[in-house]
Amino acid sequence: MAPAPPGSQAVPLPSNLPFRIISKTIGQGAYASIRKACPLNAPKPIIAVKFISKEHAFKQGRLTPKQLSMEITLHKYLGKHQNIIHCVGSGEDTIWTWIAMELAEGGDLFDKIEADEGVGEDIAHFYFTQLVSAISFMHSKGIAHRDIKPENVLLSGEGDLKLADFGLAAMFKRDGKVRLCNTVCGSPPYIAPEIVSGRRSRRADLLDTGYAANVSDIWSCGVVLFVLLVGNTPWDEPTMRSEEFKEYVETNGRTTDELWQKIPPEIVSLLRGMLKMDPNTRFTLDEIRTHPWFTRSNPYLSPAGTNANPIGLATQMLSQLRIDFSTDPTQGSQRGSSQYPDAMEIDSAPSPHRSRADPNALISSTQPETPVTDMSFDWERPPRLGMPTYDGISASQPTSNNHRPAYQMQPLTQTPFLSQLPSSTQDLLSQDPSLTQFTPNPSVPLTLTQAARKFKDVLPNYSLARFLSPLSLSLLIPLLAEALHRLGVPVPPFGEEQLGQWERDGEASVRVKMADGRRQGLNGHVVLERVLLGGDAMCEVRFVKASGDPLEWRRFFKRVVVLVGDAVLRPG
């Protein structure tokens, strides 16, 4: 039997599954974790299986058996669509419910978009077109998603959009009859204003007057388009407590906000139509599909609505990921300064009296720990940096003296560059896509694109929120701790003995729990491991997101990297 998913009851998974579990955790939600699986007697196809602990979800959480049953029923009812994660099957025993799904081989879309920058018009148009296709299909089946946000937008191996997570989906039309929804749900930056502002006299999560869930989906799609274009949301929540939203409403969409100024007028007209306050006058899907910007030609979009140039698209997106080491990471880029959003569910939030715009008020708690003692950390490792697999490479493999030319037990006197390493190590790391983000003028090495056959060959499915350092763990951990302190992360003290133990183990982990700039839960780990690369021992640091907005996690990663910048290995 496979071990239990993290964050759930420490009991084994069902032994009579109709497939084989072949990975550790690759994704996690409030009550569930996701593993890879394959047929019992064959290596392919590889699917994703979501395991929900009933006791954890029903007794400790806020999920009901009826809600879980509805998620499965609606997901299966949707059937197949090229831009929607397909439900393969489901099952349960007395302890677990599982849902088998198509695997999103390309990972998270918004892992691959630069925070505060966004993507070019062609790429934004390509993914927006596919999102509208997915939502159009759902609505044609009478189902609204109700939780459209970056966290639920995934990619296929060819880089096509895949909409996921139907836990909040609802039937708004059946047998020709339209019904309104009353449940308050969604994520504050993406939720429609009619859901937040409605009167609730009976229960905090139920509106007295219902809303059209399909029309609310249109609003959320508009916010996602905005984020694609500029790498940030237009507001932190659609209430008058948000200064950006207040100005948007009072100026009838003619806001002076600097982010709106970056967007071309023809797209602004589409956004204003989708983000109309009155649901009755908000753009319909037909109006979106006939808008001049939507119908424009796009070199990445095939007549069938799929990726016409996967390698070109991946190359362009990778070249747009860039970390500017000259910025001040303690200055926030979050939107607004509204008060605690009591209308919405928050995973972990700091004091409501703290300013929303203060980046140092984002973190609620962290705890340094080693992976072996942290039962909730059981995540699948990505391929080792610079290597297609990590066969024969142990993260904590002891390094002999002749494997230590790059591993520094003394503080660095200058920024480490790739050119300072042996040529064999340089050749190895030149194939690693995560290094391109640290160059002043990002470009994608030909070694990455020449042999590429798929989108994921250039832009991998795993997160690029990681870096290499020649510093030892015992030197790098204090630097990271100081960086986290500067960002408001209270890291408990540790002594020389603990540092020595981490150095001997060759690995360490810091668990991060925070509320992001919009007071939404953002959780994960900063994992440090000693690795061998072409005979050189180095330290690899990975930022592993467990839950939360991928753009917010990217922003957090960038800030920490800039603060420890002189320890980060860079190309050149």
Contacts (Cβ under 8 Å, ≥6 apart) of 192? 186, 211, 215, 216, 219, 220, 238, 279
Helix (H, G, I), strand (E, B) or coil at 390: coil
Identify the bridge partners of residue 33 per DSSP, sorted by sequence position.
28, 51
* C-alpha torsion sign, points 345, 351, 353, 359: negative
C-alpha span between 53 and 446 (Å, rounded): 46
Give residue 312's identity as a one-letter amino acid code. G
Identify the bridge partners of residue 533 per DSSP, sorted by sequence position.
536
C-alpha span between 213 and 179 (Å, rounded): 9
Read off the tokens for 489.
């992360």
Q: Are 469 and 568 in contact (CB under 8 A)?
A: yes
Buried b (16+ CB within 10 A) or exposed e, 63-93: beeeebebbbebbeebeebbbbbbbbebeee
C-alpha span between 483 and 564 (Å, rounded): 7
Burial of 373 (0-12, 13-18, 19+ CB in 10 A): exposed
Active site residue 358: no
- Residue where the block lists tokens 């996967």: 310
Catalytic residue among 93, 108, 122, 147: 147
CA distances from 72 to 79, 212, 214, 400 (A): 12, 22, 19, 53
50 marked as binding residue: yes
Backbone φ and ψ for 363, nearest 5 degrees, come out as -100, 135
C-alpha span between 406 and 404 (Å, rounded): 6
Q: Are 226 and 272 in contact (CB under 8 A)?
A: no
Torsion of CA 39, 45, 550, 305, to 10 degrees: -150
Identify the bridge partners of residue 170 per DSSP, sorted by sequence position.
144
Question: Quick one: the chain helix, strand, coil %, rounded to 5?
Answer: 30, 20, 50
Q: Are 527 and 544 in contact (CB under 8 A)?
A: yes
The CA angle 391-396-401, to the nearest 5 degrees, is: 100
C-alpha span between 544 and 509 (Å, rounded): 10
Catalytic residues: 147
Residues at the binding site are: 50
Binding residues for ATP: 50
